[in-house]
Chain A
């Protein structure tokens, strides 16, 4: 089956380009003219929604982040899933994940990002990736690059892109992760790049590796990688306990965008920032219209993206806890996502950003940033709906005060 090329939305439609890879958001007139949409689709009942991205949640996520397993032998001190060699009780197998792929394809999801734990340890990873392709979804993959390389190399072609987690060079890797794994990860990068062009690195940015970002971009260039994606350290899993020690300082947050752009320019490398960094982009006051055109959004958990735990439990994003169970004790699972997605109370604070408190309520970037990272707010302030306390604008407004940090994240629904 060919990849999905378009789907309707309340604002118009989303159209997928394959070369170059892109998702374009178009208004209703464009969809009528170019996609041949006729009549009055149910999604287009509200005339005010035409062309207004963000007025309502998407009809389905753009992508789903599937934590196929919580098995991983690395034991990283900041692991956001708290992965272990044993994995999680009740992890799904291939058949259930295939059903999840079927559900996501039926909803119109474009991409799935497969991760863990270490999903390359799963003997059926290739079969699941083939199943996603067969259902018109592009499977992408994240790996720590520490285990499972021999199994991954023969199936690497099945993935749209593979990113390897690399949080520092040489001894910095050990300081961030808690063990010396740099050489193994670097060897995995070299081996993957030999057989595939679309290989990138994910870098979780901490106060330990911030000063090394330029050197990391240089390393990515030397390895002829596709891109560097920078991720904010999240207080989730084992990361909750390490958060106070490893999270970036306010000064580093303010310096992030210029540092990254300078490194990208110098080393001619594509740079991506994850959704939780949108407040740090807004700090530099780029034109909101320009960010909108580039689809720079903050927290889009439970909207542009959805997560699923190794047990299939739906989450707004990979860092969020599953929603509370229903009266019968059941939690929504990703193979029945459509039913939960349309509920009035789905994803809790992740979908209530339009009711943000000050200073977000009057911020020119609210429609893009959506209040920053819900997971950081929940951990730091005990309120997932509160403005991101690490946003420089929130800090300047005096809203960045912290409560004493707990040892574990409070459960936040989503």
Chain B
């Protein structure tokens, strides 16, 4: 009897949670800009994200766009598993959505699933990764930044700051985009660049220890480039633990990272405005459905690189803490 009661309680719990949580992602507003059909539109946004501080901002962008445009946004992420991403795309095609926005970090893996979407007449926009392959995947356009170009910008800035040896901290095993950033930085930096693999955002303490150990072992490192704001905060701790005077720069923003820029702990952040990477694809796909508009003219839509330094950090500080930058 106890097991029965416990199961019933659990079932009620699951139902309750489902009821509470199903509202934020769907929008029932039909008070949209009434051009064209106002029938129900669902956009599936399927990224390779991990739910961390970077992707939460992109998700917020997609959800805000859904509210603004009066469409339902179904955001799913595959946590860097390309097979899961392919399965989610196929599920979206089966569900009959009106638009699919994907991050193409592994274009080969999702090629077939996207071909199926195209065959079903579903428009596709790529975001964040895939700036060189989006046309082969059948996408209308790509919303993001060119990782190599962004890396080059970061390398240039660090060279101007006078650094001679750079440690490029790679926190994800499976992300070719991160490799591109380090490769881009290596092109323009001028000095020597070393790629350094760490545990990642799943264990910031361990990551901080790994970076500190490296800095203590090699005292000639005078610049550290993190590729994620949470990793940058771990690097801040690592630099003070190791007693190093290395300069720190990062990719992407978070509330803490902006505060660190204001206090001078981080030199600059390369901002790709991932809020836009979630927001714009939803807008583009909705307009394609309602008004047959295509954006980009055959070229990608760039959301970065922007550089946030001590001079302009104050403007974005509050927004970063609110989770929209």
Binding partners A and B: no
**Chain B residues in contact with chain A, CB under 8 A?**
none
